[in-house]
Structure 1
Amino acid sequence: MCAFKQPLTLRKTLLGLAVAGTLGATQAQAGDVEVLHWWTSGGEARAANVLKELVEEEGHHWEDFAVAGGGGETAMTVLKSRAMSGNPPSAAQIKGPEIQEWGDLGLLGSLDDVAESEGWDEKLPGVVANVMKHDGQYVAVPVNVHRVNWLWANPEVLEEAGVALPTTLDEMFAAGEAIREAGYVPLAHGGQAWQDATVFETVLLATAGNDFYRRTMVDLDPEALGSEQMIEALENFKRMRELMDDGMSGRDWNIATSMVISGKAAMQLMGDWAKGEFTAAGLEPGKDYLCAPAPGTEHSFTFNIDSLAMFRVSEEADQEAQHTLARLVLEPEFQKTFNLAKGSIPARPDLDMSEFDQCAQKSLEDFQRTADEGGLVPSMAHGMAVRSDVQGAIFDVVTNFFNSPDMSAEQAAQRMVSAAQAVM
């Protein structure tokens, strides 16, 4: 894997404050925990409220700091602004390499006392635990594990079009033609950069496989980024536009999900948080909607781990509130209730899954299987594979190519090489 410099933008804006130690205190009152997150859609908001209720039952006060935006970009902008002012929230939804970035600045508090007393090392898979640690210390707690490479479908629309749920990219393109002729949108999509990237990384996996995905989206190997395999993946990605409707620009992901729910669209490529919307609509998997690994990716599991990182606070009561929050996140009651509502699977694989639906049970089964087989890969689109500045550079190439009628796949591949080299 490439050795990266620390992200300049974040370090330049925050390092002075970190060195001065001005971020150690918060303005919250004793026993308060302010939580910044972007769980704002229907299913997500209900899931987040579960944790709020559990925290307040233990006598602490939860101050909700919800920032809308499915990919979290807006929330991260707000978080940096708050940190620059010396007043970060006491807990924030941060994930993947960004946890390391904040930890390198010395702004995160240790959760080792909670982790040791609660046995986190024994309860969490190694791949999950490692993401939560900075310099060997727990600084964050995992809320769940999302699978990103899911296909969601309306069975009535598929039946009307006379097609089966596709299992390969070729089958998906062929099904799209029949669905369009039947009067439906083949693939619901929202034209936002993170959603474009979600489709791109899924198509990349389907086209080139797990090892090539790691070489390009994790290791940023220039040779692989500019290769014929990448060009083929980009061409397949561009073909996905043929399955989408003209009104997709700026559409939020949950609005795209509602198109599948209402029968306006046949399918959606989206992480399993989409299942929260089906659940909130009172629909039953296998009957009212279908779930399956994205076409061509049945041997892959693209993971996205939601987590809460804890910023340093000075008041003892606020530290206790943070530790209570962290403990509650990994207790069976919250893991079960939250993930049933959210559509994801528990971060702890030791929990009873009997109350979870067939999609969640399939997800956990595939998570464990792909971990053994080598198909468990971090999602670039959802901040698990590379630093935020690298991700942003890839986003720019992907979404510009997807929306440009003139840019060739060869040009896009070369721009991806240049983007990766510029941030190395």
Structure 2
Amino acid sequence: MARAYRTALMAASALVPATLASATELEVTHWWTSGGEAAAVAEFAKAFDAIGHKWVDGAIAGSGGTARPIMISRITGGDPMGATQFNHGQQAQELVEAGLMRDLTDLAEAEGWKDLVNPPSLLDSCTLDGKIYCVPVNIHSQQWLWLSNAAFEQAGVAVPTNWDEFVAAAPALREAGILPLAMGQQPWQTTLAFQVILTAILGPEGYTRVFGDKDAEFAGGPEMAEVFQAAATAREMSQGSNVQDWNQATNLVITDKAGGQIMGDWAQGEFQVAGEVAGEDYTCLPGLGVNEVIMTGGDAFYFPKVDDADITQAQEDLASVMMSPETQVAFNLKKGSLPVRGDVDLAAANDCMKKGLDILAEGNTISSPDQLVSPDSLSQINDLFVEFFNDPNLGPEEAQEIFAGLIADAG
């Protein structure tokens, strides 16, 4: 459908309520269920409903690791939803190769996505054999440390500006009855923390040598040894963090019961729902205040093939709406993420989002491990990170030796 027609359709839909006959229900599955996430996904639903369709919410409680097998099972089992969330990377590649996902190339070319999406690697992650199979909706970076300003005030120490200062403040936080580092017990959260620490200490070049080049010698060297020592320190700082979900850990920071949390920028949505003000109530340190970098991970939506022409049209309309500048702004301001379009106005961005935008503008970006490492290899590496955080008897030296071997064999 041509861009001019879409523009006219959206303008008209704002003025004329959709009739029941013109509305098509489209089930959309995702794993966004926290307060901030729900507020963000509601912006997608509102924009889709406004053009005459009906968003049927298919939220699946839990993390992506819980939701993805359910989504894949439905698609391969002949019960596809209208649209489904995956992360950027290779998570849906086998479904695409099996011919189960819609080709969005015509829409992407008509709307000029290649000229709009920044960085281009996001659209590359949607592309297989020159065809585009998904619509990227945000840039999520996990490289953040979130700090409670009041917690450090109570402990009588200054709010840290980097990881080393945070580590140095941990004893004072403990003495004040404040947990230094909040961390949920789900495996992906410890994996995330380890990856963030790795990137902060090694920097973008070192990160790429490990995950991009699969440099096993570097992975077993002295630079990587510093990473495992820092992870051991984080493991000690998080002792006593008995919450399960990531947003429960974020709430410990919001309520000043914990000094900080290593978590992606989606945590920002929880701070906003709680009425917290960036730069006043909480502080955000991209790259742990050591190496300021944005990991160009995030979320994309895929559209399973169906035989229903009405559903097919609704899928295309939803893809277009998700990429529209108005929806990009509304969704990402609530989600705490950055828009994938490089041409949108984010004057309403808060202090933390502005930091992210500045880093993105400077080109300080890295690809996510999902985009660099095969799913099987990454699963083995992540299992090691989880075991390390959960088993104090696994020392940094032993864990690094195992890690270097996994990198050597990684696909």
**Do the structures match in fold with TM over 0.5?**
yes
Change (3 A) 1:30 1:283: closer
Q: Give the distance between the partners of 1:205 and 1:183, measured in 2 at CA.
A: 30
Q: Give the distance between the partners of 2:409 and 2:372, measured in 1 at CA.
A: 17
Residue in structure 2 matched with residue 39 of structure 1 by the alignment: 32
Letter of the aligned partner of 1:413 in structure 2?
Answer: Q
Residue in structure 2 matched with residue 376 of structure 1 by the alignment: 365
Residue in structure 2 matched with residue 266 of structure 1 by the alignment: 259
Q: Give the distance between the partners of 1:422 and 1:81, measured in 2 at CA.
A: 29
Q: Is the 8 A contact 1:349 1:364 kept in 2?
A: no
Matching residue within 172, 176, 184 for 1:178: 172
Secondary structure class of the residue paired with 1:246: coil
Q: Does 1:407 align with 2:401?
A: no
Matching residue within 185, 195, 207 for 1:191: 185
TM-score (norm 2): 0.89
Change (3 A) 1:265 1:123: same
Q: Which blocks of at least 5 consecutive residues in structure 1 are unaligned?
A: 1-28
Residue in structure 1 matched with residue 316 of structure 2 by the alignment: 323
Q: Give the distance between the partners of 2:347 and 2:316, measured in 1 at CA.
A: 29
Q: Is the 8 A contact 1:186 1:244 kept in 2?
A: yes
Secondary structure class of the residue paired with 2:279: coil
Superposed displacement of residue 141, structure 1: 0.6
Q: Does 1:86 align with 2:78?
A: yes
Superposed displacement of residue 258, structure 1: 0.5
Q: Give the distance between the partners of 2:67 and 2:402, measured in 1 at CA.
A: 28
Question: After superposition, what is the alpha-carbon deviation per residue over 1:22-52, rounded to whole angstroms, capped at 9, x for unaligned?
Answer: xxxxxxx993322111111111012112211
List structure 1 segments (4+ residues) > 6 angstroms apart after TM superposition. none
Change (3 A) 1:30 1:393: farther
Q: Which blocks of at least 5 consecutive residues in structure 2 are unaligned?
A: 1-21
Secondary structure class of the residue paired with 1:94: strand
Q: Is the 8 A contact 1:99 1:134 kept in 2?
A: no
> Aligned pairs, how many?
388
Change (3 A) 1:387 1:377: same
Q: Give the distance between the partners of 1:243 and 1:281, measured in 2 at CA.
A: 25
Matching residue within 350, 354, 372 for 1:357: 350
Q: Does 1:124 align with 2:117?
A: yes
Which aligned pairs between 1:248-397 and structure 2 lie closer than 5 A? 248=242, 251-369=244-362, 371=363, 375-380=364-369, 383-397=370-384
Q: Give the distance between the partners of 2:159 and 2:200, measured in 1 at CA.
A: 16
Letter of the aligned partner of 2:389 in structure 1?
Answer: F
Letter of the aligned partner of 1:178 in structure 2?
Answer: A
Change (3 A) 1:90 1:310: same
Superposed displacement of residue 162, structure 1: 2.7
Q: Give the distance between the partners of 1:359 and 1:38, measured in 2 at CA.
A: 24
Q: Give the distance between the partners of 1:353 and 1:63, measured in 2 at CA.
A: 29
What percentage of residue pairs aligned between the two structures are identical? 38
Secondary structure class of the residue paired with 2:29: strand
Question: After superposition, what is the alpha-carbon deviation per residue over 1:291-326, rounded to whole angstroms, capped at 9, x for unaligned?
Answer: 221425433222322110122222221111110010
Q: Give the distance between the partners of 2:158 and 2:371, measured in 1 at CA.
A: 32
TM-score (norm 1): 0.86
